[in-house]
Structure formats: structure tokens, C-alpha cells
Structure 1
């Protein structure tokens, strides 16, 4: 056990420093009380007690701010420095513990109990000393921060406690750990604790070494990669500054390989990729090549959807989404049937021609749904640049593919249903004729090798089902029209409109306006009244607008709490839509002289028009009014000449052309009218005016006239028949050569109309004029 003695000595607190017994070191002292304590020690026996502050930030520590255990030291030397501080050389003597502290105002003194290590050497002490020295030697070798001379000097120490203190002073310990060793009085425990600490330090050094080696290897690898990368950049810079393209090229290579291109297209793509590698990144051509490669990789080359060839299912879908349109549905089902048998038929090219609002675009969507194909639509209305179809050549800034290739990329498959909307509204100017560029797209014999100016490589469009829509076939160039299978969609009959309104339009409007089916009911007679008196169109768009108006007013009624349910019958339509807009029924309320009902074809369907003839005394002047076109004026001249040549046979005064001025007028003079089909109508009205025989009010007529009175065929008989049916006519006089067109007219209309086929004006007069003169 250690021996104990008591001393009263000056006290000097240390900041962040600890002195072990037998240690000799220099201290710099600057605080007043510390300086006074040193001077007091120098005056007496040079002994001073050194202890460590718990908090190094305190300038004037108290008794509670210092550790109780410290070191009794002897001041060997004291030197005043120019800056006012004092440098002293001290030698640690023994461990000492504070018993009490006295404050002398200028300095502190402490009564301390001194502990001296036992001089006895036990066998266990020797074993611990050997272990400690062994560990210390290994630590020195691993640390390389302590010189070999230090180990030599330390190995000569024979006192166990001193050895533990000296070795502990050389270890990189925290302040608390150093204080812990200082407070360990028992030599054996002190040796064991230092061995434990040095052993931990060795393990830490081992880990640091391993980490260092790992970091070194990583750094070496990183440096090597960096060196190689820099070399590569230097080489690439010499070859054309391809810096930063390595990752992009790998990405583009993967895209090309996954695109499923034909071999020759893939070879072209890789050639462009090779060019891209060599072109400097700063060059404008670099972006052009990259964009081109990405377009090639994004196009569908082999990806396709599997056609659903179930005819019954397709028919059910088409019937559920569209009422009527039997001819179009039949053509789609025929295609599916042949595809099921052959599985190799080229995609058909259909052109749905008809007035606006008859469902051409929505029908194309339904066809795609019924066939389980992707649907893509492009609008050609107003396109006047040929490059819109074929694309721009890559030499131009901002070049890009044409709309066909863009549509195929959007579709994502090689066999979509591709809608070319408003194909009749393309025009041409100095930039080229887009309708001519469409010839290759819509030619089944050529479109398997379609060439886009931007893509350059051929692209197969043969599996695409093209559907074009048009309002007016007359504006489509002949060669383009010849490449398409024209399917005419005429206007709907009243019965068809009634079904469409009930099954499609009204449910959709109810949903859009947040109404339930039970909240609004429109009876059939009311729906027919809306169709007859508030719309006059071939399609159903105006009808849908009227139904939307009714839904809005119904919503207001229900929200305001007036009613919970609205039922509209025939008499209640005016309360919602106001006064009737159009007149419906007979074209004329009574048989009249000089007023004939003609049938006309317009881009929005058929229409009826009244042709009026009046006579007034004069000298045979023929006046034509009603904004008539040249062809219609010529028809009037031809009718007039025919009547003059046949005056005697028709019981007309042969000199009527010298006695009367004849005025032919077609009402609605603000609307342009033209066409040859009013020839027999004008002739009939002229004969009626000259003979005084009334014209049957239920008769409508159409046909071109010659000077010999022959009746020539006309177009648009179906649309004209539908307009006659809407106007309430019951008999239609038409050219005999148009007999083949009667089958295209819906059966419900055919059953209510009487068709009179004529080849000469004499037959027209027989069916159109009443016997006897009008009163």
C-alpha cells in the first residue's frame, strides 16, 4: 500500500494539462493568483500543488471547479517573459489529494494528503510491467509517433507505478482518462488500466491501418480511373472533342437494340451513331444526329397489337356506339372476316364522306375499339405545306418528321387505326401540294415503302388502317380520291335522329350537366318536335346543342327547388327553347302556279328550295335572281329555250317571249346556289306560269335538262331524298339513270316516298302539273 503524508502548499489550477509524478515539463503561467502562488512557493520550499480544471473556459476557478486529485511538484526554475507571463520548470513528485482549500485573496493554498507508491515488487507487478512494455513497443511500431529512444528510456524504469505513469503520459488520451489514471492509487490496478488502454489503442491503430489501406486502394483505383479518363478525354479531344458522350452512346445503343428495327434500318442507325461519336459535342450537327437517332429508336418497327377478330363482338360495339351507318359497319366487318381467313390483308384506306355532325370521327374511334387497335388522329385542315406530310430534310434548322411519322410514334404500334381528319381541307401554295404527298401514304401498293424526308429510310405503313374524313369530295384531287374507298355518310332521317338522341345524346348531356335520368324525361313527340322545328341539319350537332339547352334550364329548375322532376311533352318544348326556328311540313301549303319545289345537294346534306316564276307585260326579257351561279343560270337559259321550242305543243302562246318579261327567282337570295340539277324544276315552274296549271305541292324534283328536253342524271340523290322526307314531300321526280341510287336511301325513307323515274320533260309535266288552269 502507498504511504501517506500531509502538506500545506500553494495551489495552482491548470487548464487542459495534467502532470504525473516524476514528469518534468515547462508551464506558462499568466493568471495573477497563479503567479502569486508560484512566488509564494519560491519563497518557501519550492513545493506547489498542481491540479486540473474541470472546465478550461473558467478564468477564476473555485474549489468545486478543480479535481481533488493532483500532483505535488517542485519548482525547478522560473523565468519572466516579455509579455508578462511566467515560464516555470516543474518536476512531479507524488500524487496528492486536497483535504481543504484556503483563499489568501492573492493566491490559493491547499492542505493535501500525499500518496507515495509502495516500494515492494510483487511478481504480479513484474508480469504486468512486461505485458505493458510489450504492448507499448508494439504500439510505438504501429503509431510511429513515438521515437525508439523513448521506448529505450522507458524500458529501463524499474518502479511499476512510475512505468505506468510515464507510458500513460505518452498515450493520446482524453483529459478524463488521464485524470482516471492519476486517481488510481493502487499500482496493480493502475498497470492493468494502462494495459487495457494501450491495448484498445493498438486495436484502433489496427483499424486505422486497415481503413487507411482500404482508402489507399480506393484512392489508387480512383486515381487510376481518373488518370485513364483524362487520357481518354485527351484522346477524344484530339479525335474531335467527344467529351461526355460515353454515357449517351451507351444509352442510344441500348435504345437502338431494343427498337426491333429491320437489319438495314439498324445498320443505318449504328452508322449515324458512329458519326455522332466523332462529331464534336459543341457542333450543331451533334444535336441533329442525336435527335435523328432518337426518332429512329422511338418509332414502332415491329411492335403491334393483336387484332380482335371476333365479328360478333365488333358488331355489338359498333351498334352500341352508333345508330345506323350500316354501310360503314358492313365494310369493317368484311375486313375483319377476310383478316380472320388470311391474316395478311393490307390495311384498307377508307374515306368517310358526309356533312358535319354525322359521326365520322367518332365512328373511326369505335372502329379502333372494335378491332382492339390503338387510335391516332391528325387534322389536315388548313395544311398547305408538303413537308407537313413528308417531313423536313435534316439540313434545315429545326427539322422534324412529317405528321404521318409523328402519328406512328404516338400510336406506338405498326397497325393502328390512323384517322386523317378533314382531308378535303388541305390546300397548296408555293411550299408544295400536301395532297400530292398524301398519294404515297394512301396507296396500298406504295405505302409499304413510305419515305419521309427526315427519316430518309423507308417505313412500312401497309398494316395501318387509314380512315379519312371529308365534307366535300369535290375539293379532293382526283388522283387522291381514286386511292381511297369512298363511303358516303348522308344525313340521318328523323327516326334515326330520334334513336340517336334517346340512346346517345340525351344520356351524355344528362351526365355532363349532373342530372339523373329520372330528373329529366323528354317524350318522343317532344323529341320529334325539337328535331323538326328547332334543327335543320344532316347531322346531330345542333340537336345536341338544343338538348344541352334543355338540360341547363332543367338544372336551374331543380336547383332552385321549383320541381324535382321535369317531363317535357310536345306542347312544353316552346317553354324551354322558345318559338320554333324552322317550318316543317309541306313545302307549300297549297298547289300554286309558277312555284316548283326543287331538291338541292349541299355540303351539310340535302335541302329543298322553291323556284318561283312570274310573268309581267314586256318584251321577253329574262331576269334571274337569287344569287345563282353560272351553271344554274345556264340551266335557266336552257329551260327557257326548251319552252320556246315546245310552246305550241305545250299550249303556250308562241309569241310569249315578245309579250312578257319573265322573272325567275330562287328565295334566300343571300345564299349562293349553283348546280345543274335545277333544270327540270325551272322548266316545270316556267311551263306552269305560262300555262296557268298549278304544280302539285307534294312533289319535289331534281334533274338536268337539255335543249331537247331530255333529263340527265344528277348526284346526291340520297341527301336530296332525305331533305324531301324532312320537308314532308311524298313524291320525288328524278332521272331514270339514277335508279341505281335509290337502294342507298334508308328503307324507312323509301317506304314513305314515291320515286318517279323520268327521262324527258314531258313525263315531268305529266306527274308535276295538275290539269286545268288555276282560278
Structure 2
């Protein structure tokens, strides 16, 4: 017995006992679940992590098996999809992962649950000796001969299997394709040793091949006596006579004719119609008990139900569209203007390919909800697909029909759900796509999001092109940094910045408060929240670019108010600054975060994140030493390089700042950015770090009411940076009165709201000398602002 490099992972998961079915690792299959214990086990698995152990029953005739009625070695599987069927049963699509061995049962009443040992291994660490290589070649030859004799398996499968190097996976995949008795499948499943598993498979394949050869010989002898045409005619006539005697009709013939009639009624491309009719005629030639008949029926149902010729008529009314967009969302001027431009062009041209927009902005600013408003304003159906965490390309393009339990991808599924070929299709969180060994979903989206190609999008399951050129695709993301360049190039990026306090107040009064009053069973007359209370919630209870937490706080007030109205039998609750803390507790944030006094070595910077702008304090301490530079606070490489560039600039101009020429030899400099658990990177803190170092070395304090952002060069030039609006909004909320910005960012001030421009002094600089002029004070001015 050879030892296998298994690792054992202990976990507690639910169990389903299967009747007449065996599931192997790497196998994708769907089956129906109807027993109460099995349904409960499925629901328990979905609540936890979608993992379940599938074990085969020893006797499939037992309706309610006990713990001794099924094998205790099975396959740990991942639940991919669940569909509730009429009658209470559930159709589930699963993917086999690893072998699992039951150690001890923890629940047997409502469902089966046990502590198991999951056997995993790293395929890359498995070394194949000559014996293993030899037995793999034998099994591959057996499988090829079995495929040739059975005519049930596509020849493409041979090519796929031949490329597999891992002996364990090789054996499991072949075992999933051949038709064996459950006890034989279990024997393979319980063979943990790869070589032993391959030997068992080789023996079983040889037995099956021998039976198939005998079957072929018998068939050939029969064919010599009667021609194929005579045989079909005789069998059909005999079947008709039997059915006539029984009072039955030719169900298969009727089913095929029904499919053909349905296909002809749908206005689909000729290529698709020919393919569908060919598949329908195959039902004549297949045995009613063949597994492939179910696949063909599913395929034809999908072809017929897709909206090949159905589309909604656009409402090309610019005034009405503007009203809907303004009613549903406050602000977002750029987004609304782009949608109105599209509607205007559609009205002039009469036809236009669906645009592909990408809304980029922090969470909670309304990216997803505005997509629904676009669909409403255009009179189009709306469907949404969340891309966060998707790793399998098959989720996008579907599985080929050679796989057991194959289904179309989610794009085709949602088009069918939309019921029209021109819906508004939202790809949510496109910046959070993942990739692994199963493929790259981002690459699969390239064809969909390319206006020159998406008129012939082909799903792997359908294998025929579907025109998506009229679909209005919208994607959302928090940042474009993680979107692949090829994908980003196909989209028109519209950036949605965070809201100002005034905008949040308007949104709260006009949208969030009425919505939450209605959702919590109240009426407008039952609750009054003063404007000052709303302002306090915005400034002291939330700190965000969007309004999601603001809505949560308003919902919290509505719930507590509803409770008071019921308990105290009152008609109206009034909320103001005086009693706001009774509903939301103590204030979470201080509006003013600037320092109480001017300090040496502490500068206020501005940073951009996917969640909006942030205030960044940079602290510098100088100590006697040997000239070491220490950087702390989880700084990225770009930020570290900015600090080094600032130090080099200071060394080159030390005399201008009143700094000792030998500071780099006998002074240790420690630069720290607080909130050390949060990673920070980017070049925009360059002038902030340089200012803090010069302040610490010279002893001059930095103005506490001044924040700054900009990249520094070795010669002291100040270069432009991005995210100006978000940074300015963050500074304003923090009580900053003066902001130093690169001169080349002056053009970006058009994005900054007018009310913030009025109450904030903006200083535009070209060099580090100007930065120091406006940020540093004399040594005796530590407690004054000038």
C-alpha cells in the first residue's frame, strides 16, 4: 500500500443520503431533494458555508434511512444553486470537492449532521512513479475503448481527461463518466490510495468493456437479419399498435412535434432555429430512459423561452426622464446628464447601440439605485448581477452540455428573467472579481462589454449566438485600480463623488426620512425630526462619503419612535438636539478634528480612499542618533519613497530652513502616520511629510487650521494629485479653514461645491518654498493662528 500525501481537515457539516447516485470529487451534478431530513440539511448548509457531505445509501429502496443505512465515506460538496420545485421538493446543483469520512454524528433528529474528516492534498506536491504512469495509461486506454463502444460519451471528454496529471483527479473524473453500480462507485470512493484506486478502475472498466463487446456482437448478428429501416418501421408500427390497444398516444412523437411548433413560433435567427430543430429530432432516436433526453429537453426549453424577438419600447421623453431621475436622486448631475444625452441621441437617430457605463465612487452614494432609475426612465426591464467574489468563468458563460447538470451562465439566465432583449443590465461590484484555476471571469466579460462583439455573445450551454447589442450595460465599482485594463477600456467611466453635508441634509429630508417612516409603519404626522437634529446626525453620528449609515440612523430613530407610539399611546414623536442622544446614544464623532494648538512636527494631510476622502496626521520626532530614518504606520512603497525624496530635498536646502548641516549624521528622524493598523500609500502626502520634518528639525510650529496635499520632487517642485473633491470634502467636515493644493490642480476646483469654496481658503503652490511660507510659524507663535 502506497502512502498518499493527504491532509486531514476536521469540520462539522450536514449530510444527505443519496439513492442510486454517487458523487465524486470534481463532479458537477444536479438532483432533486424531497425528504424532510435532506431538505433541512440543505437549509442548514446554506445558512453556514454551503458545504455538505453526500453519502450513498446501501439500499435505495429505503425511504427513511438511519445512520447505518448509508455509507460513512462520501464526498464533501459545495452547493452552487438551489431551485424550489412544486410539491415542496428542491432541485440542487452541487460541485464535489474532496473525500470525507464520518467520525461522529452530532445531529440525527431533524437532519443528519456529523463531525467529519475531510481529506485534502496539494496536487502539485504529488510525484508520479513509473508504475503510476503505467496504470494511468492503461486506464486511459480502457476509457477510450469504453467510450467508443458505449456511444454515450463525447470524444471531447477523452482529450480533456488525457491532459490531467493528478492521478487522484484523473481516476475520479473517469469514474464520474462511466455507468457502474452504486457499490462499485463506493469501492472507488473508499480507495484513498491513488494506485489502488486506478487498479480498481482498470478492473471495472475491463469488465464493462467485455460486456459492451458482447452487446455489440449480439447487435451485429441481429442487423444481418433485418435492415435498420425495417427494424425502425417494425418497432414503430408495433409501438403504435400496443399504444392503440392501451388507449395511449405516441408521447415522444407528440413531444417532438410540440417542440417544433414552439420553435417555429419564436422569431429567432435561422442558425438558431436549425440547431433547435436538429436537437428536437434527436429525441426520436434516443431511448426514453437515456440521460441525454433530459439534457435535450432542458436545452430546448431554454432556447424557446429566451427573448429572441421580444424587446420593450423605449420612452424617448427627455422631460419625463429628467423628472424621474430628479425625483429618485438628489445631485449626481454628471450621471443624469449622460443618461439624458443618450436619450436625446436615441430620439434623433432612432437607433443606437446600448452604451456601457461604469459608475465609480465610494459606497452609499447611489450607484446601484440610479441604475434602477435609468431603467424606469427608459421604460426598460432591470436585472442585476453581483460580481463580488465570482471566481468561476462558468458563472458568466455557463457549462458545456458534456458536464452532468450543465446550465447556462448567469448572463443568459438573467436575460431570460428580464423577458426582453434590451433590458438595463447592472454588473454590480465589477472591481471585486476574482480568478482561480477554473478561469478568469473578467476575460469572459470582455465579449459581453464590447459593443463590437456583443451582438453574437455565445453561452457555452446554448452554443448559439445571442444578440446583446441592445442591452444597456451598467457596471459599478468603488475603484478602477483593480479592474483589468482591457475591461476598463470598454467602459465609459463616470465618477460619483461623496456628498457634502448640505447635500446629505437634502437627501435625508426628501428621500431617506419619508422612506424609513413608510417602511417602519409610521406616517409623516407621527414623527418630526428637526433640521438641526438631522445636521447633528450627519456630522456627529456618521462619517462617510455616501448616505448608507445616515439612513441606518434614521431607521433606528423610526423604530424607537414606533415603539414609543405603541407603548405610550401617543400620536407624535418630536426629535431635536436635546433628546437625540436618547435615540442614538452618545455622539460617535467630533466635527472638529483639528489640533487644539499649533504644534511642532505634526502636519495635517489629506488622503483619498475608495470610501471617500480622509484626514491624515503625520507626526515627526527628531532624536540624537546616527542619522537613521524610521517610517511606521503601515506605509506603502510609494509613500516611503515620498518621505525619502522629502529628506533629500531638505538636505539639499538645509541652510534655507535654519537647520544644522550635519542633521543627517547625528539626528535620527522618525516619521509616523497614526492608525497604524490601516495600510496607507500614494504620493500625495509628499509635501505633508516634508513640512513635518522641516518643522521638527527647525522647531517651527505648523498652523493647526491648515491641511495640505501634493507630490514633492527632489528639487522641491509640487506636482498635481487626484481626488481633489473627496479630499476637500473631508477637510471641510473636519473643520479645516485653509487648504494648500498644487497649482496644477486649480482646474479641479470646478468640482468643489460653492458653499465650501466660500468658507475655505485655498492656497495654490508651485514649490515647497511656498508650502512652508503658508504653513510654518515662527518658534514663538505656537499658540496663535496667523
Structure 1: distance between partners of 2:449 and 2:763: 40
Aligned position for 1:542: 549
Deviations 1:276-317 (A, max 9, x none): 222222222222122111111111111111101111111111
Deviations 1:675-730 (A, max 9, x none): 22111110111112222222222222111212221222222222112111211223
Give 1:478 deviation, angstroms. 0.7
Matched, 1:520 2:527: yes
Deviations 1:444-475 (A, max 9, x none): 11111112111111111110000101112111
| Matching residue within 728, 746, 752 for 2:753 | 746
| Matching residue within 326, 346, 366 for 1:359 | 366
Aligned position for 1:293: 300
Matched, 1:571 2:594: no
Q: Is the 8 A contact 2:384 2:428 kept in 1?
A: yes
- Summarize the alignment of residues 17-166 of structure 1 with structure 2, pairs less than 5 Å apart: none
Give 1:259 deviation, angstroms. 2.1
- Summarize the alignment of residues 160-239 of structure 1 with structure 2, pairs less than 5 Å apart: 231=238, 233=240
Matched, 1:649 2:653: no
Q: Is the 8 A contact 1:439 1:480 kept in 2?
A: yes
Matched, 1:756 2:759: no
Q: CA distance change for structure 1 residues 250 and 745 in 2, over 3 Å: closer, same or farther?
A: farther
| Matching residue within 634, 637, 649 for 2:641 | 634
Q: CA distance change for structure 1 residues 711 and 733 in 2, over 3 Å: closer, same or farther?
A: same
| Matching residue within 681, 689, 695 for 1:688 | 695
- TM-score, length of structure 1 as denominator length: 0.68
Give 1:495 deviation, angstroms. 0.7
Q: CA distance change for structure 1 residues 773 and 557 in 2, over 3 Å: closer, same or farther?
A: same
Q: CA distance change for structure 1 residues 427 and 614 in 2, over 3 Å: closer, same or farther?
A: same
| Matching residue within 322, 333, 340 for 2:347 | 340
Structure 2: distance between partners of 1:288 and 1:234: 29
Q: CA distance change for structure 1 residues 445 and 773 in 2, over 3 Å: closer, same or farther?
A: farther
| Matching residue within 589, 592, 595 for 2:596 | 589
- TM-score, length of structure 2 as denominator length: 0.67
| Matching residue within 507, 514, 519 for 1:507 | 514
Matched, 1:324 2:327: no
| Matching residue within 411, 414, 418 for 2:425 | 418
Aligned position for 1:279: 286
Task: Please give the secondary structure, in 2, of the residue aligned with 1:570.
Answer: coil
Q: Is the 8 A contact 1:586 1:698 kept in 2?
A: no
Structure 2: distance between partners of 1:599 and 1:563: 48
- Summarize the alignment of residues 375-390 of structure 1 with structure 2, pairs less than 5 Å apart: 375-390=382-397
Q: Is the 8 A contact 1:358 1:540 kept in 2?
A: yes
Matched, 1:725 2:745: no
Matched, 1:264 2:276: no
Q: CA distance change for structure 1 residues 492 and 461 in 2, over 3 Å: closer, same or farther?
A: same
Structure 1 portions without partners, runs of 5+: 1-226, 237-241
Aligned position for 1:672: 679
Q: Is the 8 A contact 1:243 1:281 kept in 2?
A: no
Structure 1: distance between partners of 2:346 and 2:760: 39
Aligned position for 1:432: 439
Task: Please give the secondary structure, in 1, of the residue aligned with 2:603.
Answer: strand
Task: Please give the secondary structure, in 2, of the residue aligned with 1:418.
Answer: strand
Matched, 1:253 2:284: no
Q: CA distance change for structure 1 residues 281 and 594 in 2, over 3 Å: closer, same or farther?
A: same
Aligned position for 1:185: none
Structure 2: distance between partners of 1:284 and 1:249: 17
Structure 2 portions without partners, runs of 5+: 1-233, 244-248
Structure 2: distance between partners of 1:414 and 1:562: 53
- Summarize the alignment of residues 460-539 of structure 1 with structure 2, pairs less than 5 Å apart: 460-539=467-546
Task: Please give the secondary structure, in 2, of the residue aligned with 1:572.
Answer: coil
Give 1:771 deviation, angstroms. 4.3
Q: Is the 8 A contact 1:732 1:754 kept in 2?
A: yes
Structure 2: distance between partners of 1:348 and 1:587: 45
Aligned position for 2:456: 449
Structure 2: distance between partners of 1:580 and 1:758: 37
Structure 1: distance between partners of 2:240 and 2:608: 73
Task: Please give the secondary structure, in 2, of the residue aligned with 1:473.
Answer: coil
Structure 1: distance between partners of 2:757 and 2:319: 29
Q: Is the 8 A contact 2:643 2:690 kept in 1?
A: yes
Q: Is the 8 A contact 1:418 1:465 kept in 2?
A: yes
Deviations 1:345-387 (A, max 9, x none): 1101001111111111111001100110000111111111111
Give 1:767 deviation, angstroms. 2.1
Q: CA distance change for structure 1 residues 653 and 233 in 2, over 3 Å: closer, same or farther?
A: farther
* More deviation, 540-549/416-425: 540-549
Q: Is the 8 A contact 2:256 2:281 kept in 1?
A: no
Q: Is the 8 A contact 1:733 1:755 kept in 2?
A: yes
Give 1:629 deviation, angstroms. 2.1
Task: Please give the secondary structure, in 2, of the residue aligned with 1:474.
Answer: coil
The count of residues paired between Structure 1 and Structure 2 equals: 544
Structure 1: distance between partners of 2:574 and 2:533: 10
What RMSD, in angstroms, separates the aligned Cα atoms of the two structures?
A: 2.1
Matched, 1:404 2:411: yes
| Matching residue within 587, 603, 609 for 1:602 | 609
Structure 1: distance between partners of 2:669 and 2:417: 63
Q: Is the 8 A contact 1:680 1:703 kept in 2?
A: yes
Q: Is the 8 A contact 1:692 1:773 kept in 2?
A: no
Give 1:514 deviation, angstroms. 1.7
Q: CA distance change for structure 1 residues 682 and 458 in 2, over 3 Å: closer, same or farther?
A: same
Q: Is the 8 A contact 1:358 1:538 kept in 2?
A: yes
* Higher Cα radius of gyration: 1
Q: Is the 8 A contact 1:613 1:689 kept in 2?
A: yes
Structure 2: distance between partners of 1:312 and 1:358: 24
Q: Is the 8 A contact 1:692 1:774 kept in 2?
A: no
Structure 1: distance between partners of 2:328 and 2:711: 39
